[in-house]
Structure 1
Amino acid sequence: MNTLKAEKRNMQTKAKKLRREGYVTGNVFGREIEGSIPVQMTQKEAEKFLKANGKGSQIMLDLDGEQMDVLVKEVDYDSMGSKVLEIDFQALVSGEMVHSVAEVVIHNQSKVVTGVVEELLDEIEYKALPSALVEKVIVDVGDLKVGETIKVKDLDIAKDKDVKLITDLEADVAGVAAVHNDVPETDEEEAAAVE
């Protein structure tokens, strides 16, 4: 399990100022935490961490030396989508169901030779105990033909008795659509056709 170092944030310092100083802010909340714990981590640590983890990842948060088993609940970026501003975490409690999302990862797109692969869902919502959390759902589209789709109910996560899906079982996750090569005629071609 990956670890992210963070420290408790002094609420006297505004988030904007901290971000200018190279920090990412966030909060840790959970059933056994009164209110929430404001935290901060360095921008460099946060960006490195997000290369391998994202929303729905279960990680160990090293908060001033105290280890906390948490779920990455939300990741907020700036308006350009390039700089992370805030990461929120939910402290996990053994035996308590948590609401989370699993990222959809499409595999074997290159095997589809007729048609174009369409990813129709990028995450699947579910509830599970901390021991059954799912970070990624691999969707193999290699054998799909034009017009075929994979639904949520076809995935392994739907067959997992420890996971209660919130996303509709009939929702399409990925499919293969026909390629339309209708190239519009240019003005010159239209003029030549009229003459």
Structure 2
Amino acid sequence: MEQIILDVEQRVNKTRKFREEGFVPGVVYGGKSEKAESIKVKEIALKKILSKHGMNAKLGIQFGDEKKSGFIKEIQRQPLTNKIVHIDIQFVSKDQNVKLQVPIVFKGEEELVSKQLQLNVNKQEAEVLGKIDLIPEVIHVDVSQKNAGDTITFKELNLDESIKSHDKLDEVYAAVTNLVIEKEIEDEATTTTTETEAVKAE
């Protein structure tokens, strides 16, 4: 998979002029840095990454002559316009454990429907703890062979054994149940018939 690269520049001028030039202010910290450093990133490039990969994407961060690994820790937005006004980026080393929320994509729901089953999704993200290189950007779960009563828990996410769940130990991300469409139609038909008979009786 191609690594996502975000260019980050050191921010020397603390005035607001650079915003007019298309930059978003922020800070970077973590890794070998003992303190946070002021930075700026191109707003267009940042929006492109967020639109395509989301906020939890693993990044290759080009900072001066160095390329480091990291992720977006926090984004602050203007309440009325939703415009990005500040960004926090955290550097991480390859042997450092990080906590991330990873989106879950369930595949095979069409097969469930063909078996008169449905998938009820309780949570679309998993909060995990592990080394950044081992945490996927998206967790894919195949539910096509599941049966009524089956649940999707952390074990079914099929992650590297070194990755731990930061959610509740008994967290159920999704459950397979019987379709209720036919019963609802039958109930509606019964209700309609009862109402019709009541009208005739009047």
Indicate the TM-score class for this superposition, using the shorter chain for normalisation. Answer: 0.7 to 0.9
- Contact 2:154/2:165 (CA < 8 Å) preserved in 1? no
- Contact 2:25/2:41 (CA < 8 Å) preserved in 1? yes
**What does residue 119 of structure 1 align with?**
121
Matches within 5 A, 1:1-195: 1-10=3-12, 12-14=14-16, 18=19, 22-76=22-76, 84-113=84-113, 114-157=116-159, 160-177=160-177, 178-179=179-180, 181=184, 192=199, 195=202
Aligned length, in residue pairs: 189
- Contact 2:141/2:156 (CA < 8 Å) preserved in 1? no
Larger radius of gyration: 2
- Contact 1:153/1:170 (CA < 8 Å) preserved in 2? no
Deviation at 1:150, TM superposition (A): 1.2
Deviation at 1:56, TM superposition (A): 3.3
Alignment partners' CA distance in 2, 1:130 and 1:146: 35
- Give the letter aligned to residue 121 of structure 1: K
Deviation at 1:78, TM superposition (A): 5.6
- Contact 2:29/2:90 (CA < 8 Å) preserved in 1? yes
- Give the letter aligned to residue 67 of structure 2: Q
Alignment partners' CA distance in 2, 1:106 and 1:73: 26
- Secondary structure of the residue aligned to 2:173 is strand
* Higher-helix-fraction structure: 2
Unaligned runs of 5+ in 2: none
Deviation by residue 1:137-162 (Cα, 9 ceiling, x = unmatched) = 111122233443211122212xx232
Deviation at 1:135, TM superposition (A): 2.1
Give the aligned CA root-mean-square deviation in angstroms.
3.4
- Secondary structure of the residue aligned to 1:172 is coil
User: CA separation of 1:7/1:116 partners in 2, compared to 1, >3 Å: closer, same or farther?
Assistant: same
Alignment partners' CA distance in 2, 1:80 and 1:53: 24
TM-score of the superposed pair, with normalisation by structure 1: 0.75
Unaligned runs of 5+ in 1: none
Alignment partners' CA distance in 2, 1:122 and 1:73: 19
Deviation at 1:41, TM superposition (A): 2.0
- Contact 1:152/1:168 (CA < 8 Å) preserved in 2? no
Alignment partners' CA distance in 2, 1:43 and 1:192: 65
User: CA separation of 1:13/1:143 partners in 2, compared to 1, >3 Å: closer, same or farther?
Assistant: farther
